[in-house]
Amino acid sequence: MIKFFRRIRQKLVVENRFSKYLIYALGEIVLVVIGILIALQINNWNENNKIEKDINGSLRAMIDELNENETYFKYASNHAQTRKDGIQKILDGKASNDDKRLILNKFGQSVNSKPFNKIFELLKDEKKLQLIKDKALIKNINKFYEYNLLGLDDLADWHKGFVGDNIDPFIIENIPSNDFLVEPEIVDDLLQKVKFRNILSYQEVMYEAYLQEASYALENAQSLRTDIEKYLEVND
């Protein structure tokens, strides 16, 4: 097409028809500009398509990450529930001697947290999170990772500090043990002390708080996974 315009332009110059030459020259310029704009548009489309594929790949990886979080929530919750039930049995006077021997495992442990958030942090650091087309999905992703996951992590960190500052010293000063096993008679004597019963009650409350937060985080993780799967069905 450009060669066609060039031949016409040369003919018009030879025939000294300047006005028509100018029109054709302008037409040639317009054609070149249109070609450049189309090329840029195609390049932008290719680039946007590449970014979208990268984001969708990250979202598929996020589904695996959510599965890891769900598995850990269930694992940690089972341990917290076991400790809470053990403390309740001791406070209610229903603990067996074997339960009493293992009392350090019941009340001397902090709740645990192990957030899996590598994919989320990568999306956030590369500023790709806001490029997801579904704004409600962005909101739910932020809610889970910035609120649920970090909230559990903060709770675990605080509780770890509390156990280290308060419960560990009490155990060292008041509870003799052999390979972390305590004689039942020692536990019976400790149960007569208000401070020990208060520590047990406090730990029971903390385990219950963790169970509630973990349950809420688990529900949101499952809901978020479903939302991502639906998004990928439409946009992948």
User: Is 181 in a helix, a strand, or coil?
Assistant: strand
102 in a structural domain: yes
223: in domain: yes
pTM of the model: 0.77
Q: What is the pLDDT of residue 179?
A: 87
Give pLDDT, residue 114: 86
Instruction: Give the structural domain span for 107.
Output: 69-235
Q: Which position has the token pair 């889970």? A: 144
With 0-12 / 13-18 / 19 or more C-beta atoms within 10 angstroms meaning exposed / middle / buried, residue 77 is buried
CA-based diameter of the chain, in Å? Answer: 120
Q: Is residue 57 part of a domain?
A: no
Phi-psi region of 180 (alpha: psi -120 to 50; beta: other; left: phi over 0): left
Phi-psi label, residue 133: left if phi above 0, alpha if psi -120 to 50, beta otherwise: alpha
Is 143 exposed, middle or buried, given 0-12, 13-18 or 19+ CB atoms closer than 10 A?
middle
- Looking at the predicted structure, is the pLDDT value of residue 41 above 80? no
Q: How confident is the model at residue 65 (pLDDT cuts 50, 70, 90)?
A: very high
pLDDT for position 194: 95
Q: Is residue 58 part of a domain?
A: no
Determine, yes or no, domain membership for 28.
no
Give the pLDDT confidence score for residue 193 in this predicted structure: 94
* pLDDT category of residue 235 using cuts at 50, 70 and 90: confident
Domain membership of residue 27 (yes or no) is: no
Instruction: Report pLDDT digits (tens) over 101-129.
Output: 999 998 998 998 888 999 999 999 888 89
Calculate what percentage of the chain has a pLDDT beyond 90: 65
Question: For position 177, what pLDDT does the model report?
Answer: 87
Give the count of domains, the chain.
1
In angstroms, rounded to a whole number, what is the distance separating the alpha carbons of residues 77 and 74? 5
Whole-number pLDDT of residue 28: 63
Q: Please state, as a whole number, how many other Cβ atoms lie within 10 Å of the Cβ of residue 43.
A: 10
Q: Is residue 89 part of a domain?
A: yes
pLDDT by residue (tens digit) across 150-205? Answer: 999 999 999 999 999 999 999 999 999 888 899 999 999 999 999 999 999 999 99
Give domain status of residue 46, yes or no.
no
Average pLDDT in the chain: 86
